[in-house]
Chains A and B, each alone.
Chain A
Amino acid sequence: MTDPLNLQAFGEEANARLAVEHEALMQFLYLAPVGLVQTGIDGEILMINPISAQLLMPLARDGNLVNLFEALEGVAPELRHLCAQFTRPNGMVCDGLQIHLNHPGYASGGALRPRRSPQVLSLSLLKLDDARLMAVLSDVSEQVRRERQLRQNDAWLNALLTSITDYALVGLDRQGRVCEWNETIGRVTGHGEAVVGSSYAVFYPPDAITAEQVHDRLREADQNGWNLDEGARLRADGSQFWASAMISPVPDRDLEPADPDAPAYCMVLRDISDKRDAIETRRKSAFCDHLTGVANRRAFFEAAELELQRNRRTPRPTALILIDADHFKRINDHHGHPGGDAVLRQLGLVLTATFRQVDVVARVGGEEFAVLLPSSTLDGAAAVAERLRQVVQTQVVAFEGEQIAFTVSAGVAASDGGDLDLDMLMKRADQALYAAKSGGRNRIECWTPTLSEQAERSPQPRDEAQDAP
């Protein structure tokens, strides 16, 4: 049984609901921030939303909007032709066609270009069937302006890059591997496309950077926005050049986390060989021991502090060797200070030749040298120290017609990372050095916990008295 009154009420309610929905849809179209127009196949406007009127009315010469092609006649006369040529039953007639509005007839209202007028419109035309077209119109003046600015930046960069021959631009992925080859890489380093996929360590001479340091520099670039490193670099043919390398993170790279091969860093590698002398002179005066040419105390402790910071972020083994010329007082007494200096210079040369480039060799006292070995274990460091001891033993220093033979003792200590404490490492290497001295000199000792216990029982006097015969 149906009650006609109820049915009527039901119908009214449904109508009211539809009316509300209709109004909401209408407003949705009124407010869409893009122009939408439906036209007949000849451009006659059937439906149009407000943004279209906003964009087209200033172009309409007669104050009317009857035909889309006519409204755009002055700025895009090809539209009618474009549609006529489009023979397929449906599809995109044009997609994002840019229409530039700065034609003389535009803005006829005033002498000044009106503030609110767009300069470039984008038009897409979709043919629905033989009778209807849909058009999407939008003001793209701002995008076009930005693109122009970007192109200008590109032009500036190109102008810079093509006229400068000593820059290589290297894109690196998250792991520091070369992402893409380009001409600048070829020009500066001589590497071909085969270099893609290699760590940027490939540009360093052998032993000049550890795998950990490759990552350290990337982390430092992440934290500071850049990482700068200056030093010797290797070309593909094995020759070296002096370079400054700046690594910086690529902006917005996190927007594409899915692509692990996308460049995450930019490295600018610059050949500064011609400036090397000036730079080296400056660097030496600040960081080198003037007698032996190895690093001075300041350089050593700065390098050690940096290694310490890196170690805290990513723990790794680190070794320290303290090296002392045996019976140095005797050499000085016998040959005079110039003779002693000759011995120290020779020791400096042997040290530099024996250790890796990545190791920091420094003169930290009169005849005492220290070597910091990043990413090295106790055993590894001890083996190199032993090699050094043997080389020194077999060489003699020619000084004023005399031959000076000398030996060295060394103490080795290491940390497996995590608890690296420079003071502790220095103290242990020192205890090991003392053990080498008291064990007869010309020998290497590695630190053991026993040495610390001994040291606590009898504090070690570290002076020339020990070295006395």
Chain B
Amino acid sequence: MNTATALSFTTPALLDQLAQLNAELLDQLDFGVIGFDAETNVCRYNRTESEAAGLTPPRVLGQPLFTNVAPCLNNFMVAQRFEDAEDGNTALDETIDYVLTLRMRPIKVKLRMLAEPGSAVRYVLVQRRL
């Protein structure tokens, strides 16, 4: 059993563990992973997410998340949560029900938002709801 498959969408304290994974292991996860840096540019984008959205990593990596990759998250429910955490210098680990517009279809998902003060990469994790 490798490290990657041991991780699930709900694994506690997931942020540090994701940071440990290389790109190959990240691709093995069964939930979507989008990591973004201090400038909100996407720096990690795993296969599950790529296939669900229908976008290959080159179209996404280095692009600002909330304007050029997932504008649907650019509201007070998601983007502002990250901003508030940053402004308040607090950790963020919350999961909400959301709808993504993957391939222009409304897809019910759970979004998990992960950030910690001083962490180089923040994450949005995506898992389909049934």
Contact = CB atoms under 8 A, between A and B. Distances in A.
B79 to A, nearest CB: 6
Contacts of A53: 72, 99-101, 106
Interface stretch (B25-33, B34-42, B53-61, B118-126): B53-61
B96 interface: yes
B13 to A, nearest CB: 25
A318 B41 CA distance: 70
- Describe B's contact surface by its main secondary structure: mixed
B45 to A, nearest CB: 13
Interface in A32-76: 33, 45, 47-55, 57-58, 60, 63-66
B74 to A, nearest CB: 5
Contacts of A254: none
B101 A52 contact: yes
A184 B37 CA distance: 61
A63 B96 contact: yes
A64 B79 CA distance: 18
A31 B69 CA distance: 7
B72 A51 contact: yes
A116 B54 CA distance: 28
A252 interface: no
A51 B96 CA distance: 19
A65 B79 contact: no
B98 A50 contact: no
A114 B100 CA distance: 21
B103 A26 contact: yes
Contacts of B74: 54, 116
B31 to A, nearest CB: 18
B76 A48 contact: no
A47 B100 CA distance: 11
B90 interface: no
A114 B75 CA distance: 9
A54 B80 contact: no
Interface of A: 22-23, 26-27, 29-31, 33, 45, 47-55, 57-58, 60, 63-66, 107, 109-110, 114-117
7 contacts: A30-B55, A30-B71, A48-B105, A49-B104, A57-B98, A64-B99, A109-B76
User: Ordered nearest first, which 6 A-B pairs have the shortest CB separation?
Assistant: A114-B76, A63-B97, A50-B72, A53-B72, A65-B99, A47-B104
